[in-house]
Chains A and B, each alone.
Chain A
Amino acid sequence: MYLCTKFKDRKIKIFNKMVFSVKSLKIALATLFAVVPFMAMANSVQDSLQAHNQEAAHAVEHHATESHEPASKKDEVAAFIDHHLQDAHDFVFFSDKAEGKHYGFPLPVILFDNGLKIFSSSKFHHGEEIAEVDGNYYALHHGKIYKTDAQGTLNFDEHHHPTNVKPLDFSITKNVLSMLVVAGLMFFMFVSMAKSYKKGPIPTGFGRILEPLIIFVREEIAIPNIGEKKYRKYMGFLLTVFFFIWILNLLGMTPIGINVTGNISVTVCLALFTYFITQFSANKDYWKHIFWMPDVPVAMKIILMPIEILGTLTKPFALLIRLFANITAGHVVIMSLIAMMFVGQNLAADMPISIGLTLFISVIEILVAFLQAFIFTMLSSLFIGMAVQEHHHAEDHDPHTEEEPIII
């Protein structure tokens, strides 16, 4: 295992000599920031997980199919955060608990359950009622739709997960709508920017702000990692992903209350794109390094093969977990800090602390929003660069590279 890491290190070292030696300080800083919320998240998610389970336990105790009232304020906050982190079938801006009113708009639900079933999510009444479509009954439980009977019975297993059948859910959920809006926004922004180039060599209006960012992606991300010759082909993907993640991260900071990049499905999809692009653009050298590592004994080659194959999967996995965890952690921390003043006994004392800390973390989160988009794009281009790089071994391993410190 040590050997394999050493080999890997060396490989990465050679490939990214340029990136890491010159910008090691920058990267170190970036990594620090990237890791900080990660650490914070470890506890929060556990907490919310606990809360989630507690809540579920309550639900079982009360045998209530309708929205279950958490016992304490703490539980209420945990449930609210948990609810926020999840995708939703309706867009709710805020709710009035006393009157039981929700202000927002419903979204279309599309189910594959013995044929296509399309209906408005208003039928669920925000999870309070059972939706009846063509004689089938559906219940909404923690953002998921389950098939149920007229009474809305849900059976739970020992992990407090419902055992009811889940129909294939292709609903236009809150996250899908957000992504559509962002996609539309990006299309509008960049197409109008592209049009402004027709008038002259310098873009006009908002394009002036976007152009340095595009050049940043090219100069700082694509060219150093993929190389001058081949970067052009991947710029479309890298730019799209960079702006897509960044805008969604920033939208997550707004009070609209969406959490797209902190959703595991979204990050899985993004990472899979990187994975497939990497695999399909890989050259002979890349596959050779995976299946038959050069310059090592045959026994080593055989041992290294499965490790290398696993390595291709761990890279996108790290990518998807990093983005998911950072954004989720940010949301949890900010919402917990805001909720502090509702949980505490002394409002006057809690409010300044809560607002101050929220402000502080929000500023960090704005940085993280950019940083995560940057890191995702940079690592994607790094992986693509590894796959397309032409490399020569043996004579290439000059002693200088061995000594260089690397930070990953």
Chain B
Amino acid sequence: MDKLVNDFSFGLFFWQAIILLVLIVLLVKFAWKPIMDSITAREEGISNALAAAEAARKEMQNLQADNERILQEARAERDAMMKEAREIKEKMIADAKTEAQVQGEKMIEQAKATINSEKNAAMAELKAQVSGLSLEIAEKILKQELSNDAAQTTLVEKMLDDVKLN
């Protein structure tokens, strides 16, 4: 201890204090502050960049999930639409078929009715004509038969024969 106290030099202490003080002040101003700031800024930059990359990755993932979902939805929609279309088509065909059938049947009915009425009319006309013709023929025949007496007598006889036979 005695040696330590004896070794202590105030001059050296004084210079050391001044040198250290000046050194600290100068280095803080010209070196440590810019160095620490740069290091901190760089580290922040790196961590920010890493965070940004992570965020981008997550966003990518989200986007992919979104895309997947949208695709799925689109696919489902398409399927639904196709199904609907198919249904509509089938319904339309079925409708058309039934309508056509109904229409056809109706037309057939009408045709049948027309044909029937035509037929009836034709028949009636035919009947009238046939009866007219028959009358004409009968008239002509009677005229012919009754033109001479012999013929009239024969006819009467014949007719009488018929009656007798009966």
Q: List residues of A whose CB falls within 8 A of some B CB.
A: 45, 49, 52, 86-87, 110, 144, 159, 161, 168-173, 175-176, 179-180, 183, 186-187, 190-191, 193-194, 197, 201-202, 211, 214-215, 218, 232, 235-237, 239-241, 244, 263-266, 268-270, 272-273, 324
Q: Which 6 A-B pairs have the closest CB atoms?
A: A190-B31, A236-B28, A197-B38, A194-B34, A265-B12, A269-B16
Selecting from B3-11, B70-78, B127-135, B142-150, the interface stretch reads B3-11
Distance (Å) between the CB of B19 and the closest chain A CB? 5
* A-B interface pairs (CB < 8 A), number: 123
> Which residue of the partner chain, among B7, B34, B38, contacts A86 with CB atoms under 8 Å?
B7
Interface pair B42/A173, CB less than 8 Å apart: no
Question: In the complex, A130→B95 CA distance in Å?
Answer: 137
A176 engages B15 (CB within 8 Å):
yes
| A265 in contact with B8 given A190-B32, A197-B34 (CB within 8 Å) | yes
- Chain B residues 5 to 63 lying within 8 A of chain A, measured CB to CB, are 6-17, 19-20, 22-24, 26-28, 30-36, 38-39, 41-42, 45
Using Cβ atoms and an 8 Å threshold, which residues of chain A touch B36? Answer: 214, 218, 232, 235
A265 touches B10 (CB 8 A): yes
Contact indicator B27/A239 (Cβ below 8 Å): yes
CA distance A232 to B109 in the complex (A): 107
Q: Is the CB of B12 within 8 A of A87?
A: yes
Contact among A236, A266, A269 with B27 in the assembled complex (CB-CB below 8 Å)? A236
* Chain B residues near A (Cβ < 8 Å): 2-4, 6-17, 19-20, 22-24, 26-28, 30-36, 38-39, 41-42, 45
Inter-subunit contact B12/A236 (CB<8 Å): no
Instruction: Give 22 CB contacts A-B under 8 Å.
Output: A87-B9, A168-B11, A169-B10, A179-B15, A183-B19, A187-B31, A190-B31, A197-B35, A202-B42, A215-B39, A218-B39, A232-B36, A236-B27, A237-B24, A240-B27, A263-B9, A264-B4, A265-B8, A265-B10, A265-B13, A270-B16, A273-B17
Contact A240 B32 (CB under 8 A): yes
Contact A176 B12 (CB under 8 A): yes
Given A191-B31, A197-B38, output 19 extra A-B contacts at Cβ < 8 Å: A45-B3, A52-B3, A144-B9, A173-B11, A173-B12, A190-B30, A191-B30, A201-B38, A202-B42, A218-B39, A235-B36, A239-B32, A241-B20, A265-B8, A265-B10, A265-B16, A266-B13, A268-B13, A273-B17
Q: Say what secondary structure dominates the interface of chain B.
A: helix
- Which one of B2, B11, B15, B31 contacts A194 once the chains associate, using CB atoms below 8 Å? B31
**Cα separation A264 to B17 with both chains bound (whole Å):** 13
Q: A215: which B residues are within 8 A, CB to CB?
A: 39
Contacting B23 at CB < 8 Å: which of A183, A235, A269?
A183
Check if B13 sits within 8 Å of A269, measured CB to CB. Answer: yes
Q: Say yes or no: A190 contacts B20, CB within 8 Å.
A: no
Instruction: Report yes or no: A194 in contact with B12, Cβ–Cβ below 8 A.
Output: no
Is B31 in contact with A269, judged by CB distance below 8 angstroms?
no
In the assembled complex, which residues on chain B have CB atoms less than 8 Å from the CB atom of A214?
Answer: 35-36, 39
Other-chain contact of B11, A170, A183, A201, A324 (Cβ < 8 Å): A170
Q: Chain B nearest CB: distance from A167 CB in Å?
A: 10
Asked whether A266 lies within 8 Å of B31 as measured between CB atoms, the reply is no
Chain B residues within 8 Å of A264, by CB: 4, 7-8
Residue numbers in A under 8 Å from B3 (CB-CB): 45, 49, 52
Interface centre among B3, B16, B45 (most CB of A within 10 A): B16
For B15, give its contact among A172, A191, A244 (CB under 8 Å): A172
Q: Give the docked Cα–Cα distance between A52 and B4 (Å).
A: 13
Chain A residues lying within 8 Å of B7, measured Cβ to Cβ, are 86, 263-265
Tell me the complex Cα distance, A141–B92, Å: 127
Q: How far is the CA of A172 from the CA of B42 in the complex (A)?
A: 42
In the complex formed, the residue of A with least CB distance to B23 is A183
B residues near A176, Cβ cutoff 8 Å: 11-12, 15-16, 19
